[in-house]
Chain A
Amino acid sequence: MRQAERRAGLLFCLPWLLGFLLFTAGPILTSIGLSFAWYDVLNRPAFVGLENYTRLLTGDPLFWKSLANTLYITVVGVPLGVLTGLSLAMLLNLNVRGLTWYRTIYYLPSIVPVVASSILWTWILNPQFGLLNAALQGMGINGPSWLASETWAKPGIILMGLWGSGSTMLIYLAGLKGIPRHLYESAEVDGANRWRRFIHITIPMLTPTLFFTTTMGIIGSFQVFTQAYVMTGGGPVDSTLFYVYYLFNNAFGYLRMGYASAQAWVLFVIILAVTLLQLKMARHWVYYEVEAR
């Protein structure tokens, strides 16, 4: 009987195990190898030692530019996304009538296919005839030229991202609903006003959710690609050439497979470092209730 269970266990796990060897473990080894080689697909890979890495870090201004662009949308975009999602969730958590309607409207943009929303937003951000500049005009502001401007292209892409805050909102909403009512009730008895209840109950109880969403947000932001590819093609003047976009260009545009592999490993190290740093900091600000089981 135990024998049969063992055999079944291993057998049923086999799809993943094979997939792991074929699509994860194997490629990891290949990718490490390639990152030390020059490979253009047409000719055999040539071993070049650390050259890809040294060139990337010391001799490639575009690499640094793409990294800076990525940091920009991360540092600006992620907090704005958290703020938008959290504000919407807080408002929805007031139990107003028509909650499901509001929830649907706020959530819907986040399921629009990225290509479609990118094309839509290219049109919304159109400097001459776009919706956004028309709205700004209505408020007496002369809108910038958005995607055509080196300064405003990134904010334009961030703005479009905020339109899709609906799924983070849902996560916060679930987090808010999970806060036990009695905490608020006893705080009210103790005379804590709305603001103090928010600061001393809502925020601490929500920190695990905040931690999760910021971590995922940062990782996602480091991998932005489609929006830039469709909306700006990386321009103007490489101002929206993000990390993964440049990696994609190296790999599939210029067929520098080895160089792009090195770039992928640097990305891995960056994401790993950021995540570890977050975990380390989490100890100081994330509040985990002792689980009673």
Chain B
Amino acid sequence: MKQIIPHIVLGIGALVFFFPFAWLVSTSLKPDHQIFVFPPVLFPHPVRWENFRLVFEYIPFFRLIGNTVLVTGLNITGTLLSCSLVAYSFARLRWPGRDTLFVVMLSTMMLPAQVTMIPIYLLFARLGWVDTFKPLWVPSLFGSAFHIFLLRQFLLTIPRELEEAALVDGAGYFNIYRTIMLPLIKPALATVAIFTFMANWNDFLHPLIYLNSLDRMTLAIGLRLLQATHGSEWGLLMAASTMMTVPVVIVFFFTQRYFIQGITLTGLKG
């Protein structure tokens, strides 16, 4: 009995939060004469798949999804490699200047990205990298403060004895990093990978600034282009939006644990 009221409230809330999804998918399957009606119909009749086919006709969708996967993949690889190595150095190795640099790194997180955005753009433009993917992924090779910090916190919890035994056996530091540290922080690496995936799949500003040609665009920019050219064809736009969202939802369902762990950590460590 005590459970009923929370269930009612939670249920209504869930309905409100879920409805936009239903509306997204339902509109994507509707013919125009069911879209422009008031009051709206929820269930498309007849179901029209044509909207999805048209997306492929108006923008090179496979190309765009390929580009997005490529940029995202490169970013995940770069971020995991660079951030874990730097985090290992900050967490486990003693060298002069380490603590000062660590504070410097933390303070860079305070700097709004807008401050460095223009000079970085000018730098990449000078290198002739505009309208290539390089500005979107090369920076990931140099690590990012937030992820380094997150991984460092994990690495700090590993007991000293493990690496000391390896050192006695004559293992080098890189080997310790590769064979002892990396396997132990796999869950944290998964979290970083997911954050990077989300950030890049959803990124709008950077592709907007750097990419111009249609066959080099990412999904986010392609979707925007579709909106700019077919602004009132809601069935089409909802079909394209659905297709951009589905991969994220799939990744979420397979990696839910790391998603939630990541967000929780962000909150607690902050």
Contacts and interface: CB of A to CB of B under 8 A. Distances in A.
A116 B145 CA distance: 28
B110 A272 contact: yes
Contact of B220 (A12, A109, A113): A113
- Chain B's interface size range is 35 or more
Interface stretch (A16-24, A61-69, A182-190, A285-293): A16-24
A91 B7 CA distance: 9
A34 B270 contact: no
A115 interface: yes
A1 B9 CA distance: 63
Contacts of B122: 30, 41, 257
B7 A174 contact: no
A207 interface: no
A129 B35 contact: yes
Nearest to A164: B17
Contacts of A121: 20
Interface stretch (A52-60, A150-158, A263-271): A263-271
Chain A contact surface mostly: helix
B122 to A, nearest CB: 7
Given A26-B119, A105-B17, A8 B198 contact: no
Contacts of A223: 112-114
Interface string B216-246: 0001100110010000001001100110110
Contact of A109 (B17, B121, B205): B17
Contacts of A102: 10, 13-14
Interface of B: 3, 6-7, 9-10, 13-14, 17-21, 23-24, 27, 35-40, 82, 85-86, 88-90, 93-96, 98, 101, 104-105, 108, 110-123, 125, 139, 141-143, 145, 148, 167, 172-174, 177, 198, 201-202, 204-205, 208-209, 219-220, 223-224, 227, 234, 237-238, 241-242, 244-245, 248-249, 252, 256, 259-260, 263-264, 266-268, 270
